[in-house]
Chain A
Amino acid sequence: MKTWFELLVHDLRNAGTSLGVAAFLTVACLVVLHGTAAGPIQTATALPLLWCLCALLFASDSFATDLASGRLATRATLPVCARSLWSAKLAGFAASLSLIVGLGITLEGGWQWISGGEKSLTIFLGALPPPGKTLTVVALIGSAGMLCSLMVESALTAMLLAGLVLGALWGLSLAALETVKVTGPNTLTENPSTVAVAIAGALLFIGLLAFTRAQRKLGDSAVRVRTVLIGALVLVLGLAGTVTATSMRWSTYGLKDRRLDIFPPIASPDGRFIAFEAAPSGGARDVRLPSVWVLDLETREHHLLAGPGQLTRNAYNDGWKSWTEENGLCVLAQDRWLWTGKPESLRMRAINAELHQESIEDLPLVGAPRLPDWAIVKETRTGKARVRSVYMGWKGKEIERTFEGVLGRDVFVSPTPGRIILRRDKSLVLFDFESGEERALIGGEVGYTSLSPDSRALLVRTQARETHVLSMTDGSLLHAVWTRDDSHNPGWIQGDDRSHMLQLSPMKRWSNPRILDLDTGREFEVDDSMNWFFARVADRGYVMIDELGNLVWIDREGKLVKVLIDRGGRRN
């Protein structure tokens, strides 16, 4: 132990120049920061960055200079084993860095204590990154630097090389993360600090191996380089293998896993089945991640329709969210691996309470199940702000129209051939293709518009907070215009292929969602443990995701019938 301690002291004295440079940089950095009136938070941000730089400096200088000067060869003749020499170097690195970290904290802490405000010392210490995180980063930088320091005979070259290695590691981790997103949850990505520490440990182990081998084959510098390169290759392959081995495809992970979010379901026209999307938390915006499932309400059996990477979306629909009597449920999916060139779009039909699945190879991927058969729509941007040009054609009639202007979000195509409703500037007009006539539908400025699930009704909210439900056939009012003053926004309940139900979503947090049956005018409030992601399942009631993430079925009175997918959340 005494021998090892002497080696450590020896290494610390050897690192005198690097320590001096680092101490100077620390002081200079603080002087510059205080010269520019930086506060404790700025210094608490700058110092850790400087420590990373110092870690790179110390680590890169650990072996390179000794190798170049032949000191390592001289030290190899001492009666100490290579492991002791290596561990003393490592301890020297840690001690050097600790000294610089201590210097930075002492200087800045002292400054804040003496001349700062009442809480500035606390702010400074609180703004420093957590020790665990800092240690992880420093360990990674240090191990990469020490490894590179063994390969070259110049500290500067080792620094540059270590920078490249760290960059490569960063790139690899990005690639791994992107891959893992698609392949499923992975324990590695959930514990990045553990992974970083493991990589640092592996790099240090490779360094130790290279060093001990080189000390036993003194004079053959290729031994070091060869060992490091082979070690690095094994590490990369090992990491890739571990990522692959610990990854699970989302489809095999199961819907009960709470790392998956379930999104609002839609129901089959007979209300027996529902289809819904699941995606990893935070990954819903990544089109590769969601999967589409179908579930039988009566048996609770569910199966996967399209897995991650299979769902295809386009401008007119998001791949699957329409289940109509005529078209069934079209899931625009494709083979997971694009290069096989085999689209596997599916059509689900619920017939006599049984689910029938068929492949629709001829369905173009850029199709739109909600777009009625008679219409062709092509939309282009004009280059002017908010001004769009929409070309519409009527199949079989050779009638074409092009609309240009501020057309709002949508041009609504009626299931009745030849009719469209569109926003022209701030008003809503019904356009008749055959006659070419335009008719204004609502007086006043149009705010929010939403097409019903069956495309037969249009929900319109004006700026005056009036709610209109219009027929898509002739633009007539289907229900009396009403104005609500209880802070509930109306929206269609998806999935039952009808235009009869509205959900009234609360705008205030303490309000509960409500459901309004337009035909009967009946309205009821939903239990406060439910959220507002409803789908109506015909006469059976509604399914929704509750606030605990469970998929539940409630009856038409709002009472719980069944928890369809229990995701482990507690329910009272």
Chain B
Amino acid sequence: MNTNSNPVVVKGLYVAFRGKRVLDNLDFELRRGSATALVGDNAAGKSTLLRVLIGTLVPDHGAVRVLGLDPAREGAKLRARLGYVADRIEVPNWMSARDWLNFLSHMYPNWSHEEEKRLRALLELDAEIKVRELSKGNRAKLGLVAALAHRPELLLLDEAFSGLDATTRPALATAVVGHLRDEGRTILMVSHSLSDIERVCDRVAVLSGGRIVREDELETFARAPRGGIDLETALRRAQVPAEVAA
């Protein structure tokens, strides 16, 4: 029986694609109410880890519990309780943002139309525009509204702000995600942007060589590089040999 109350608990996670190792014996926990940035090099396995957490990728080995559920077996139930913003959202051409949100409102039992309305207003998202005609930034906004309107217990952001322009990003990060943090919800955010991380997160985990090679408070991370890993380097390169972290 799992007695760990942390919303995400990962032990000995191993994922390989066609024999190529992506995540290798990864151990990771997310503290309740924390906002953690997951950083690492391209193809380090950050998105793969998120997909394992939402249950769209069943790991080859390892134990994963998210909100007390096994994503591989109870994926649908789990996804109803978490918000996930992918780096890309693809919907049929005929759909407007409103159509998509309406469709989603039938999928999530906790969907709040008031929250959806509030978020749309906050993000200045025009719901009548066809999704295919939305700019990259507006698509990101739509993804955020979709992920947040059902008030998820856990929010997983996969480079959610990457399409936003420099002026929108800070406001969005602070207003939307900050609001969620204030409610004590847990956030795991994949990002390459130091400023986004600083605005949203209080912890940082560095993924390299298929493992979490360092996890620390953001302040500690910035103040005291350990094992040769500091945040800027991690964001710039993130190609740290696993043994350095030991």
Write the residues of chain A forming the contact surface with B, with a CB cutoff of 8 angstroms: 2-3, 6, 10, 13-14, 16, 69-71, 73-74, 76-81, 84, 215-220, 222
Contacts and interface: CB of A to CB of B under 8 A. Distances in A.
B79 A77 contact: yes
B106 A220 contact: no
Interface in B103-134: 103-104, 106-108
B57 A78 contact: no
13 contacts: A2-B106, A10-B92, A16-B94, A70-B90, A73-B56, A73-B90, A74-B91, A79-B79, A79-B80, A80-B76, A216-B55, A219-B17, A220-B17
Contact of B51 (A3, A79, A218): A218
Contact of B76 (A69, A74, A81): A81
Contact of A79 (B72, B77, B86, B88): B77
Given A74-B89, A80-B76, A84-B76, 20 more contacts: A6-B106, A71-B91, A73-B56, A73-B86, A74-B86, A77-B56, A77-B79, A77-B86, A78-B79, A78-B104, A79-B80, A215-B56, A216-B57, A216-B58, A216-B72, A216-B75, A219-B17, A219-B51, A220-B17, A220-B18
B92 A13 contact: yes
A194 to B, nearest CB: 35
Q: Top 5 closest A-B pairs, CB basis?
A: A79-B80, A70-B90, A79-B79, A6-B106, A218-B56
A220 B54 CA distance: 16
B77 A74 contact: no
Contact of A13 (B78, B86, B94, B107): B94
A76 B57 CA distance: 10
Contact of B107 (A3, A71, A73): A3
B84 interface: yes
Contacts of B108: 79
B99 to A, nearest CB: 9
Contacts, number: 66
Contacts of B76: 79-81, 84
Interface centre among B54, B56, B57, B103 (most CB of A within 10 A): B56
A10 B56 contact: no
Chain B residues touching A, range: 20 to 34
Contacts of A3: 106-107
Nearest to A5: B106
B190 to A, nearest CB: 15
B72 A74 contact: no
A76 B89 contact: no
Nearest to A6: B106
Contacts of B92: 10, 13-14, 71
Contacts of A78: 79, 104, 107
Nearest to A10: B103
Interface string B31-58: 0000000000000000000010011111
A532 B192 CA distance: 95
Nearest to B104: A78
B101 to A, nearest CB: 13
Nearest to B60: A217
A77 B17 CA distance: 20
A6 B18 CA distance: 36
Contact of B90 (A13, A74, A79, A80): A74
A79 B78 CA distance: 7
A84 B72 CA distance: 16
A10 B90 CA distance: 14
A149 B94 CA distance: 21
A14 B92 CA distance: 7
B77 A77 contact: no
A10 B94 CA distance: 11
Contacts of B84: 77
B86 A217 contact: no
A222 B20 CA distance: 14
A61 to B, nearest CB: 12
Interface centre among A14, A69, A71, A76 (most CB of B within 10 A): A76
B90 A71 contact: yes
Contact of B88 (A14, A70, A215, A220): A70
A213 to B, nearest CB: 9
Given A74-B89, A79-B77, A219 B107 contact: no
B77 to A, nearest CB: 7
Contacts of A77: 54, 56, 79, 84, 86
A378 to B, nearest CB: 69
A315 to B, nearest CB: 63
B220 to A, nearest CB: 33
Given A13-B94, A74-B90, A218 B57 contact: yes
A405 B104 CA distance: 88
Contacts of B88: 70, 74
A31 B4 CA distance: 70
A364 B98 CA distance: 86
Interface string B60-82: 00000000000010011111100
Contacts of A74: 86, 88-91
Contacts of A13: 92, 94
A89 to B, nearest CB: 14
Nearest to A73: B90
Contacts of A2: 106
Nearest to B106: A6
A323 B197 CA distance: 102
Given A77-B84, A79-B108, A69 B56 contact: no
B134 to A, nearest CB: 14
A14 B78 CA distance: 27
A78 B84 CA distance: 9
